[in-house]
Structure formats: C-alpha cells, structure tokens
C-alpha cells in the first residue's frame, strides 16, 4: 500500500504548544482539493532544520523530508538567501534564451557526475519521460530498431504520467488507466538471468531491447538496494548488446546515499540517469542527464516551459554547493550507519516483528514480518503521536529519509520513538 492509499485515523493525540493557530478546517480543504491522496490529519505550516510544526503548534521530527526531497531540511539559511535574492532578480524566462543559472547548474552536475549533457524539467516523472523519449529516438536513429523495448523491474516506481506508470512494474499504480503505453517489459529486480532471458526472447523481427531502466535502489518498492555484482554484470551486458542503461535516481540522487549519485555505490556508470526530488531541496526541478554519445535530441524534440528556470536552478546550485561546503555527505554516511545500527538493534529485540533493516546513507527501510497483522501504516500513526514523521514504502516497510543535515541526537530521538511505538503496539 502506498502513502496515497492509506486510510488514516481521524485523530492523532499529541500535546499542543503555546502560540498555536486556530484548528485547521480539514473539511473545507477536502471540498476543494481532489482526493488523490490519503492525508494524515495534520496541517503543517512551518519548519526549521529537521523539525516542522502544525497549525496547532505541535512539533514533529521530520524523517519524511517531503519524501526524500528536503535535502537541507527546512529554512536552511543558504537556500533562504538564494531564493530571496533570485526572486528579486529574475525568476522565470523562456528557454528560447540563454539562462546563466541553468548553465551553471548543468556544469556543476557534469563536474560531479559521469554526465556530459543535461536537460532540465520540473519533476522526476518528467525526467523519466525525457529518458524514455531519448532512448526511443536513439533506438530508431542509431540502432535502427523499428520497435524498441525498454526493460524495467517489477516493484519499481518511475512516475505517474502514462508512460512512467507503464514503466513502473507495479499493477496497483496501473489499475484503471488502460490502455497503457506499449514497449515495456518487466523482470525481477537484481535478477541477471531474467534480464538475459528478456533480451533473447524480445529479439524478434523488428523488435529488440533498446534500453534497461532501473532504480539504483528501489524506493517505493520497499527500499531495496541494487546488488553490486548484478549491476556490474548488467553494465557489461548492455555494452555487449548495444543497450542503453538508464538509472532512475529521482529518490537516491543528490547525496541521499552518502554519495552524490546512487550509481556510485554500484561501481558503474549509466548512459542516462535522472534526478529530481532532492536536487533543489524542495523547489520543483527535474533533470535528465546523459553521455554525449546518446544525446540525439535536436531542437524541437523535447521541451519544458518551466524546466531550468533561473529560480529553480539557482536553488539547486545552492543545494549542491552547500553539500560540498558543509561536508554533508560525510554526515549522511555517519548518520546512516548510526541509524541502521539502531534499527538493527530494535530488530534483534523484536525478531518476531521485524525481518530486515536495509539501505544506503539516509534512505533506509525496516521491513516487518509478512505473517503478522501489524503494518507499516500502524507504526507510522503510532510514531506520529510521539512527534515523529515517517513514511511507508509498501504495507510492510517503514522508510527513513530525513534531511541530510540530521544530527546524531535526532537519529537517537527517532529510533527511540520507533522502539517505544513497537513496544506499545505489540504489548
């Protein structure tokens, strides 16, 4: 079950603090906004660092971070300064003109990755759409494939547009949206034989596998890291068969794993990769990056009105420069190790409840036993009452994705809340 489909408890007990606003009118909101999300009954109005406050003044430790998005936490001084100055200067112009902030951000990305070309858009889904279009054009123009197929993984998540939900290997996201886009084939994640079989089986007439599109770590699929040997062998298979390797780094990119990009954990380089969520620390932006050899787009092939505007690019560049200046990647590595150690200790204490703890850096999952009634949503609600925000990654996996600036004390506070909630729920 995804976050969007959760059915929440109508009340979350918590202490109110002084200076609170009037209670928020949830009913008024629900009469105006489409019900595409199952929302928890709190209305957040401000944040600072790794903490947020709701409209009634209650404080929460935020281990959701906009779902792996608020890289520098809330109201980081460097980001506040940048967006304040940029909105006074120039916030949007058309891509019909050169945009200096866009050029600077593209150069920063190229200097800190294997990319040689960058296209900017507004979201992860758009970045993945761009990658799909680029792979298809490359297949037609360079590989001379009439019917290119893109292989993706089961339990993957690539976005909510029609093409990206087709690429997503989870039927629950595709239900009622048929007919889906043609040209996709699904295989189990981390299963090399399945990939080899798909390449052989789909090589027929004018049809052939043109690209393999995977997450370096599956986020919505349960926080499942890619296996080193699998991805290294996959890189060789792609090279040997003229197949593009596309990595979806929408959730793991921009430092979340303790490295700038998820692929750095796998010892390989993709031909195309995508980023969005954490790229500008919560300001909407997406990017599709590629090696020069597969950049076959020409003027008019692809575009985005808002993509790469001065405001979003200035914010993203500040995020990148702050990661460097404040040595935040080291904090991600240290706090990630601390978090996994603490969660593993909880798992050892409750082996009848917890089956596994896994992850990279500050994207981690705690999986519950499949044969128990307790769900990740149950724990999310229980810890919320204790002042901690978490997000599920399926019905049995708790996802921990705090801001990358999280402190050791805040990691301790979060894990203590989780252990206390589990103790109460299982007593």
User: Which residues are identified as catalytic?
Assistant: 157, 248, 277
Name which of 102, 106, 146, 149 is nearest 314 in CA terms. 102
Q: Sheet containing 147-153: give its strands across.
A: 117-121, 286-290, 272-275, 244-248, 207-215, 147-153, 184-187
3-class DSSP string for the chain: CCHHHCCCCCCCCCCCCCCCCCCCCHHHHHHHCCCCCCCCCCCEEEEEECEEEECCCCEEEECCHHHHCCCCCECCHHHHHHHHHHHHHCCCCCCCCCCHHHHHHHHHHHHCCCCCEEEEECCHHHHHHHHHHHHHHHHHHCCCCCEEEEEEEECCCCCCCHHHHHHCECHHHHCCCCCCCCCEEEECCCCHHHHHHHHHHCCECCEEEEEEEEECEECCCCCEECCHHHHHHHHHHHHHCCCEEEEECCCCCCCCCCCCCHHHHCCCCCCEEEECCCCCCCCCCEEEEECHHHCCCCCCCCCCCCCCCHHHHHHHHHHHHHHHHCCHHHHHHHHHHHHHHHHHHHHHHCCCCEEEEEEECCEEEEEECCCCCCCHHHHHHHHHCCCEECEECCCCEEEECCCCCCCHHHHHHHHHHHHHHHHHHHC
Cα 266 to its chain centre, rounded Å, is: 17
Residue 404 · residue 72 · CB < 8 Å: yes
CA 256/CA 317 separation, integer angstroms:
16
CA 203/CA 199 separation, integer angstroms:
6
Find residue 208's DSSP bridge partners.
148
CA 395/CA 409 separation, integer angstroms:
28
């Amino acid at each position: 079950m995804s976050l969007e489909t959760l059915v929440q408890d109508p009340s979350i007990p918590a202490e109110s603090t002084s200076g609170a606003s009037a209670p928020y009118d949830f009913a008024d909101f629900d009469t105006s906004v489409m019900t595409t999300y199952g929302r928890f009954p709190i209305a957040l109005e401000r944040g600072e660092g790794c903490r947020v406050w709701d409209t009634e003044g209650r404080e929460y430790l935020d281990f959701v971070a906009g779902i792996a998005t608020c890289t520098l936490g809330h109201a980081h001084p460097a980001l506040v300064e940048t967006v304040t100055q940029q909105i006074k200067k120039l916030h949007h112009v058309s891509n019909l003109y050169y945009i200096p902030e866009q050029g600077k951000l593209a150069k920063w990305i190229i200097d800190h990755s294997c990319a040689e070309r960058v296209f900017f858009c507004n979201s992860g889904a758009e970045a993945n759409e761009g990658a799909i279009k680029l792979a298809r054009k490359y297949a037609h123009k360079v590989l001379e494939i009439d019917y290119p197929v893109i292989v993706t993984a089961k339990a993957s998540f690539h976005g909510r547009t029609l093409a990206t939900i087709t690429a997503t290997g989870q039927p629950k996201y595709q239900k009622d949206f048929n007919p889906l886009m043609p040209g996709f084939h699904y295989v189990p994640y981390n299963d090399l034989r399945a990939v080899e079989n798909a390449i052989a089986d789909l090589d027929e007439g004018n049809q052939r596998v043109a690209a393999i599109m995977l997450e370096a770590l599956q986020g919505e699929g349960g926080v499942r890291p890619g296996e080193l040997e699998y991805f290294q062998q996959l890189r060789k298979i792609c090279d040997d068969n003229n197949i593009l390797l596309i990595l979806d780094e929408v959730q793991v990119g921009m430092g979340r794993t303790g490295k700038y990009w998820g692929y750095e954990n796998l010892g390989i380089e993709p031909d195309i990769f995508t980023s969005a969520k954490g790229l500008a620390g919560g300001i909407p932006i997406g990017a599709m990056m590629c090696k020069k050899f597969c950049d076959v787009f020409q003027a008019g092939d692809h575009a985005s009105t808002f993509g790469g505007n001065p405001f979003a690019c200035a914010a993203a560049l500040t995020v990148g420069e702050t990661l460097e200046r404040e040595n935040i990647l080291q904090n991600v590595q240290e706090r990630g190790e601390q978090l996994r150690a603490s969660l593993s200790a909880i798992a050892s204490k409750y082996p009848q409840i917890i089956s596994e703890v896994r992850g990279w850096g500050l994207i981690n999952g705690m999986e519950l036993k499949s044969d128990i009634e307790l769900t990740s949503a149950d724990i999310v609600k229980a810890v919320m009452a204790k002042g901690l925000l978490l997000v599920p990654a399926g019905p049995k996996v708790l996802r921990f994705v705090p801001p990358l600036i999280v402190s050791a004390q805040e990691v301790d506070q979060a894990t203590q809340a989780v252990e206390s909630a589990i103790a109460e729920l299982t007593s």
